[in-house]
Amino acid sequence: MTDDRRAELAANLERVENRISAACAKAGRPRDEVTLIVVTKTYPASDVRLLAELGVRQVAENRDQDAAPKAAECADLPLTWHFVGQLQTNKVRSVAGYAGIVQSVDRSRLVTALSKEAVRAERELGCLIQVALDAESGDAARVTGERGGVAPQGVPALADAIAEAQGLRLDGVMTVAPLAGPYAGRQLAAFERLMEISTDLRATHPAATMVSAGMSADLEEAVAAGATHVRVGTAVLGVRPRLG
Ligand SMILES: *Cc1c(COP(=O)(O)O)cnc(C)c1O
């Protein structure tokens, strides 16, 4: 069983690697500008272990209830854990214990909570600002919809808050291609808009170079737009057994 699963994951990883390489070549970008993060949500710790054996170093989860025990089981592996889901402040203490990077920072209350728990855990937490591109025309920075994210005009204030917070490091921006609004169904345009937001951010925070965009279905568009990190679940692990 394990051998079968290992072979399946190896083949899937190779296919994804070929897709990323081809997208980089097409965009005239060096392959090493793009880092693959494998989204292991809903899959067991045994899969995370196999992925680590196959050379994966970055993994992502979106629910603390699932991620915390998995990270504990895999604590001996050389992995960086990314948290990519909507994060409630009552889960922050747990997440701060294992996450290297929280990609879903979208409100100042969360910055305060993350800072407090990072200091308590004596860890430095990388933070990406999750940008909601379906909120482009909103009149104020706000959390929108179920998927979270701050409207583009809310990014500068949130960036300053993270940069000033103890225990936190501002690493960049993240988005999920929007299902509604002007960018619905227009992944390339959405990711190009995220790149603009990243360029503006780097004018005041030059170290915030990470741009996390693109999933199994749209990683090519993300690489074309300039993403530095793609988050791939299904194309590596298979179609998820339940919603995650
Ligand atoms: C699940 C998830 C992914 C991966 O999606 P796939 O379509 O399975 O590749 C990427 N980013 C976030 C935020 C996710 O929740």
Round to whole Å and give the CA distance between 46 and 53.
11
Atom number of ligand 1 nearest to Cα 236: 9
Whether the CB of 2 sits within 6 Å of ligand 1:
no
215: its two tokens = 């999933």
Residue found under tokens 């001996």 = 76
Given this model, what pLDDT does residue 140 score?
45
Per-residue pLDDT of 155-206, as tens digits, reads: 999 999 999 999 999 999 999 999 999 999 999 999 999 999 999 999 999 9
Mean pLDDT value across the chain = 94
Cα→Cα distances 109→54, 162, 202, 243, Å: 38, 11, 23, 27
- pLDDT per position in the chain (244 positions), as tens? 688 999 999 999 999 999 999 999 999 999 999 999 999 999 999 999 999 999 999 999 999 999 999 999 999 999 999 999 999 999 999 999 999 999 999 999 999 999 999 999 999 999 999 999 997 555 444 445 567 999 999 999 999 999 999 999 999 999 999 999 999 999 999 999 999 999 999 999 999 999 999 999 999 999 999 999 999 999 999 998 765 4
Whether the CB of 128 sits within 6 Å of ligand 1:
no
Closest CA to 158 of 114, 191, 214, 196: 114
Per-residue pLDDT of 91-109, as tens digits, reads: 999 999 999 999 999 999 9
Whether the CB of 84 sits within 6 Å of ligand 1:
yes
Atom number of ligand 1 nearest to Cα 237: 8
Atom number of ligand 1 nearest to Cα 240: 8
Round to whole Å and give the CA distance between 17 and 10.
10
Whether the CB of 234 sits within 6 Å of ligand 1:
yes
Domain range annotation of the chain: 2-236
CATH number of 2-236: 3.20.20.10
Q: Whose CA is nearest to atom 6 of ligand 1?
A: 233
